[in-house]
Amino acid sequence: MPRNLDLASLRSFVTVADVGGVTRAAGYLNLTQSAVSMQIKRLEEALGMTLFLRAARKLALSPEGEQLRSYGKRMLALNDEALSQLAATCCQGEIRLGVPHDVVYPAIPGILRRMAQAYPRVRINLVSSFTVLMKQDFARGAFDVMLTTEETPDAGAEVLSTRDLVWVGAPDGNAWQRRPLRLGFKDTCIFRPRAQAVLEGAGVPWEMATGGESEQAVEATVAADLAVSVRMVGSIPEGMAPISGENQLPAVGNMKLGLYRGSRRSDEAMDLLVSELRCAYGS
């Protein structure tokens, strides 16, 4: 009698191998950590071999695990392709996604690409704006799912992670040492009043080097070493770098990444999108 690999267990194994840990894999798969661990254990027992080498609290693939990972990816890809084609007629229409400007990259393009492959008849309309404005639109039903960057997400939000805010400037620049300190922010940037407040609290004189709502103008000014700005760790644009030195600027704290999901749509496509967002933006 031929034996069959359990695809659910195989998916858990491949996901853990890809993301580097059970915790992140559980968030991606929308399962508990114990369920993921049990599926991998069941797979190892069925095959009679060890797939992970567990040492120093780190997971590393065994030689057999490396081999199975390659096969597993191909099997799951074929499985997902078949299901997406068969399920295409039941998952269609539009999903409205809101994401703040400063966290679109690097994760969102890959998420949109994978969603299009899995559900080709579902259109994801991405809107990128400021958290305050998007929350107003979300309350009116303009979004099906939304990410936010804010100090205190609402009670109905899922807090995905907390990220530090850091001062940024031109790589190897010295604009941060000049006084008054020149700042580069859009007029409505949520980080601007916090940066100004911590500078005033530390007695650091400052002045604005930019105005208006052009993110490109801000990035160009900072990259030219004519000003400094504030960004979240993990979302620092190209041409900027965290400021380090003996006379660092005062700490600006952190921000939380919140996930808001509406009630208009509830299906496999929405569940997959939410899982992708949890995996990409979770702790």
183 and 160 belong to one structural domain: yes
Average pLDDT over residues 189-204: 94
Indicate if the alpha-carbon torsion angle 146, 275, 121, 88 is positive or negative: negative
Q: Which of 87, 112, 141 is the last residue of a domain?
A: 87
* Tens of pLDDT, residues 106-151: 889 999 999 988 888 899 999 998 898 999 999 999 999 999 999 9
Task: Report pLDDT for 57.
Answer: 66
* HSE (side-chain half, CA atoms, 13 Å) at 199: 21
Confidence of residue 28 (pLDDT cuts 50, 70, 90): confident
Domain CATH for 72:
1.10.10.10
Residues 118 and 81 both lie in one domain: no
Q: What average pLDDT score do residues 33-61 get?
A: 87
Lowest-pLDDT range of 76-90, 237-251, 253-267 = 76-90
Q: Are residues 148 and 102 in the same domain?
A: yes
Predicted pLDDT of residue 258: 97
pLDDT bucket at 87, cuts 50 / 70 / 90 = low
Helices (H) and strands (E) in the chain, counts: 9, 11
Domain final residue pick, 64, 87, 110? 87
For residues 201 and 232, state if they share a domain.
yes
User: Average pLDDT, whole number, for the chain?
Assistant: 90
Residues 191 and 106 in one domain: yes
Same domain, 62 and 196: no
Tell me whether residue 2 is in a domain.
no
Q: Give the predicted TM-score (pTM) of the model.
A: 0.68
Same domain membership, residue 226 and residue 183? yes
In our burial notation (b when 16+ CB lie closer than 10 A, e otherwise), range 4-20 reads eeeeebbbbbbbbbebe
Q: What is the pLDDT of residue 1?
A: 61
Per the structure, the count of domains in the chain is 2
**pLDDT by residue (tens digit) across 168-183?**
999 989 999 999 999 9
Residue 138: which domain range? 90-283
If asked whether residues 213 and 77 sit together in one domain, one would say no
**186 contacts 215 by C-beta, under 8 angstroms:** yes
65: exposed, middle or buried (Cβ count in 10 Å: 0-12, 13-18, 19+) = buried
Identify whether residues 108 and 142 lie together within a single domain.
yes
**What pLDDT is attached to residue 178?**
95
pLDDT at 202: 94
148 domain-assigned: yes
- Residue 223 pLDDT greater than 80, yes or no: yes
At 267, the pLDDT band (50, 70, 90 cuts) reads confident
Position 88 pLDDT exceeds 60: no
Q: Does 73 share its domain with 94?
A: no
pLDDT at 234 over 80: yes
Q: What pLDDT score does 130 carry?
A: 87
Query: pLDDT exceeding 90 applies to what percent of the chain?
Result: 66
What CATH number has the domain bearing residue 260? 3.40.190.290
What mean pLDDT is predicted for residues 21-46?
88
Q: Which helix (H) or strand (E) holds 120?
A: none
Which of 62, 87, 112 finishes a domain? 87
In a domain, 1, yes or no: no
